[in-house]
Structure 1
Amino acid sequence: MVKTVIIEEHGGPEKFKIVDWPVGEPGPGEIRIRHHACGLNFIDVYQRTGLYPMQLPHAMGMEGAGVVEAVGEGVTHLKVGDRAAYAAMPPGAYCEARVMPAAQVCPLPDEISFEEGAAMMLKGLTTQYLFHRTTPLKAGDTVLFQAAAGGVGLLACQWAKSEGITLIGTASTDEKCDLALEHGAAHCINYDEVEDWPAKVRELTGGAGVDVVMDAVGADTFEGSLNCLKPLGMMISFGNASGPVPPFSLATLGAKGSLKITRPTLFTHIAKHEDCQEMARMLFGKVASGAVKIRIDQAFTLDNVADAHRALEARLTTGQTVLTV
């Protein structure tokens, strides 16, 4: 039995329960991992509230890092004693230990700490697919990144700079804008002070607009994001922090310059074992080289998971947040 955070019904952070949960031996294609730290992500909020419904009761959390304790039949890329990290389905990372599918669990290099591993996998693999698996991007291109001081945002600022891509960020305070600039954003717009921020983006791009928008804010920024794109530009809507994007007419994309739009999820990109491991190797390489630094600004104990969710939903966090086990 291990300490585990579950929900029995959807709702607010008060719905979390910390229980003793059974953990057994791994079956074929599975491992048992003993966590040192777990990650906190907005998808956890969506699952807790029911925006992404789950069959209940269910353990929570999508990301963790620790040591492999046992390996099931057929698992060849991990062995007992290996350091490992993952972002993977099904939920269940908010715990001391768990049995889980091995395919998306990745060997963690020694130079990367467990806390960094737990903080980086979901957001880092998301950053990897945004820049390398969604639409072609090359040095000299321009990207608008909404909420650039958030967990994915600070990684994206660094990733863009490392590849010669100009990133224009947005954030809700001057302090968050400064943080994005420190991490490699070329410009950052405080959209609480600049009412017509799409016009500012146009100004910064000499009237042309950006090649790609990466937007996980959702409803509040969607229309403005479309207005920032140059003709034939790509809108990547990859989250709903302010609520789901409302229905809109596809004709809008034609009227605004034959725009393209996609709504990707990480779990499609990492569904194949080989793809996931390759993406992780690129991410680990960026971190090990120093091109991307993992900034952990908040840490909560597993017992204080409700406080961690309240801080995340109130937009009181910057960088990455971990739960210590």
Structure 2
Amino acid sequence: MRAAVLKAHGGPERLAVESKEVPAPRAGHLLVRVAAAGLNFHDVIERRSGYPGRPAPPTGTGLEGAGEVIAVGPGVTEAKVGDQVAWAAVESSHAQYVEVPVADAIPVPGWLGAVDAAAVAAQGLTAHYLAFSLRSFAAGDTALVWAAAGGVGRLLTQFLAARGVRVIAATSSEVKAAVAREAGAERSVRYEDVPDAVRESTGGAGVDVVFDGIGAPTFDVSLGSVRRRGLLVVYGRAGGQVPPVDLFRLSGAGSVQLVRPRFIDFVATREELLFRSDELFAAIRSKDVTVRVEAVFSLEDIADAHRLLESRAAIGKVVILPWPDEE
């Protein structure tokens, strides 16, 4: 089979596609023929420098995908050959075949195609826990969403808007601002205009919650945008890791609560994973949430896919197709 490999940390040129042995499914695992795999900014960060504690290259790439079960390992009773499944956190998913733990396999409804399933597996579940599991919202509450036209940001904006939350969307261009408004944002502004927009939209009180997936470059503005006893959620580091925070800054900002959630802690059990995926698929079917695929690349062109995502020009999802004849 063909699989993407990160040879060393650095630019997209450090990626290669090599021939590998097709794995045999171990006990409790499925062997899946990958129909589509998602590309996330997590993959860009991993390629550039990796995360603390992660294995050094050479390593496989990708965590997210969808496809058809072609074999099951010993002891598997929850899935069978021919099932369509997706997954959000399985190593080396940028490949033609992936061994998926059955505990991580998400049943895909028949009406949802593999490309769309791969496009929302990680980001859709992330948007779900951000919108539903960190605080209780009431219609009329206010939220600031950074990068609101991005993968998670756009889905999160749709979830929040469907709940009646007034979303102030922060975007980097007018094109992306329009996308955020289409997703349900009440107001969409450029990054540099966020402080004024928050002040004007809330009468100077600040928003109930800020969702910040950028990190270091936006943290100070995010903290200054939260109302007294509000919540600041830093869920990503696309712009760099937030330095250590003096806790007195939180009290000085009005007893603000700060949380840095982790995806795996919100799909910690099989039941929770299925609950979130069921709700995500229901929201897609009802059109409360829509899937937007920006570009599709063959596996052999994965370096170009990284370049597009890294350029921040992509608005929707970037998807990898491992089989060229299915492009």
Q: TM-score normalised to the size of structure 1?
A: 0.95
CA distance in 1, matches of 2:23, 2:104: 20
Percentage identity across paired residues of the two chains: 39
Shift of 1:169: 0.6
Partner residue, 1:86: 87
Partner residue, 1:150: 150
2:126 is the alignment partner of 1:129: no
Shift of 1:155: 0.8
Contact 1:27 1:72 in 2 (8 A): yes
Partner residue, 2:67: 66
Q: Secondary structure at the match of 1:311?
A: helix
2:41 is the alignment partner of 1:46: no
2:117 is the alignment partner of 1:117: yes
Partner residue, 2:304: 307
Contact 2:33 2:68 in 1 (8 A): yes
Q: Which amino acid aligns with 1:149?
A: A
Residue correspondence of structure 1 range 308-323 to structure 2 within 5 A = 308-323=305-320
Unaligned runs of 5+ in 2: 323-327
CA distance in 1, matches of 2:244, 2:93: 33
2:228 is the alignment partner of 1:231: yes
Contact 1:47 1:54 in 2 (8 A): no
Partner residue, 1:21: 20
Q: Which amino acid aligns with 1:302?
A: L
2:243 is the alignment partner of 1:246: yes
Deviation digits for residues 15-43 of structure 1 (CA, Å, limit 9, x no counterpart): 10100111222111111110111001011
Contact 2:9 2:50 in 1 (8 A): no
CA distance in 1, matches of 2:317, 2:148: 12
Shift of 1:56: 2.9
Shift of 1:279: 0.8
Contact 1:40 1:321 in 2 (8 A): yes
Partner residue, 2:29: 30
Contact 1:215 1:225 in 2 (8 A): yes
Match of 1:271 among 238, 251, 268: 268
Q: Secondary structure at the match of 1:290?
A: coil
Deviation digits for residues 207-242 of structure 1 (CA, Å, limit 9, x no counterpart): 221111111111111100011100111111011111
Unaligned runs of 5+ in 1: none
Q: Secondary structure at the match of 2:279?
A: helix
Match of 2:200 among 203, 225, 235: 203
Partner residue, 2:257: 260
Q: Secondary structure at the match of 2:103?
A: coil
Shift of 1:48: 1.3
Shift of 1:301: 1.2
Q: Which amino acid aligns with 1:76?
A: T
Q: Secondary structure at the match of 1:98?
A: strand
CA distance in 1, matches of 2:268, 2:92: 17
Shift of 1:77: 2.5
Q: How many residues in Structure 1 have an aligned counterpart in Structure 2?
A: 320
CA distance in 1, matches of 2:138, 2:42: 29
Q: Which amino acid aligns with 1:215?
A: D
Moved more, 264-273 or 33-42: 264-273
Q: Secondary structure at the match of 2:95?
A: coil
CA distance in 2, matches of 1:106, 1:238: 23
Q: Secondary structure at the match of 1:275?
A: helix
Moved more, 18-27 or 114-123: 18-27
Q: Secondary structure at the match of 1:180?
A: helix
Q: Secondary structure at the match of 1:103?
A: helix
Deviation digits for residues 160-200 of structure 1 (CA, Å, limit 9, x no counterpart): 121111111100111110110011111111125x3xx2132
Moved more, 113-122 or 183-192: 183-192
Shift of 1:79: 1.3
Shift of 1:4: 0.1
Deviation digits for residues 72-117 of structure 1 (CA, Å, limit 9, x no counterpart): 233333211011111013x211011111212111000011111000
Q: CA RMSD in A?
A: 1.3
- Return closer, same or farther for 1:304/1:237 CA change in 2, 3 Å cut-off: same
- Return closer, same or farther for 1:135/1:73 CA change in 2, 3 Å cut-off: farther
Contact 1:88 1:105 in 2 (8 A): no
CA distance in 2, matches of 1:41, 1:74: 32
Shift of 1:57: 2.1
Contact 1:149 1:177 in 2 (8 A): yes
2:103 is the alignment partner of 1:103: yes
2:190 is the alignment partner of 1:190: yes
Shift of 1:274: 1.4
Contact 1:177 1:189 in 2 (8 A): yes
Q: Which amino acid aligns with 1:61?
A: G
Runs of 4+ in 1 over 6 A off after TM superposition: none
Shift of 1:137: 2.4
